Amino acid sequence: MAFFTARILSKDGIAITEDIEVWMHFFRHGHVEMWAGSCEVPVTTPLTQRTYRLQLTDGRAGRMTAIVTQLRGENLAVYFEGKGALG
């Protein structure tokens, strides 16, 4: 897994989080490029939408789907997937 700094954006481009540490794994399923990862955000972070946009600090971005959250102390562990190359 690779480590990145990123932010999570809502569908309308509003930043939900800034400067979070994200662990990501890039792989191919058949002919489809995919990625999956995890991060932790404060428990007060409103992750209520089905999809979000993940934007890495190097400028690459993609749509997060299959989002699962789990309470971890004072934070939420967030697990997600994405399809296609980060562009």
Query: In the chain, what are the domain boundaries?
Result: 2-83
Residue 45: both structure tokens together:
């972070």
pLDDT of 35 > 80? The answer is yes
Half-sphere exposure of 78 (CA within 13 A, CB side): 30
Evaluate whether 4 touches 24 at the Cβ level (below 8 Å): yes
Confidence label for 46 from pLDDT (cuts 50, 70 and 90): confident
| Euclidean distance between CA atoms 52 and 10, whole angstroms | 5
Amino acid 24: pLDDT: 97
Cβ atoms < 10 Å from Cβ of 84: 11
- Residue 66 CA from chain centroid, whole number: 10
| Euclidean distance between CA atoms 74 and 58, whole angstroms | 28
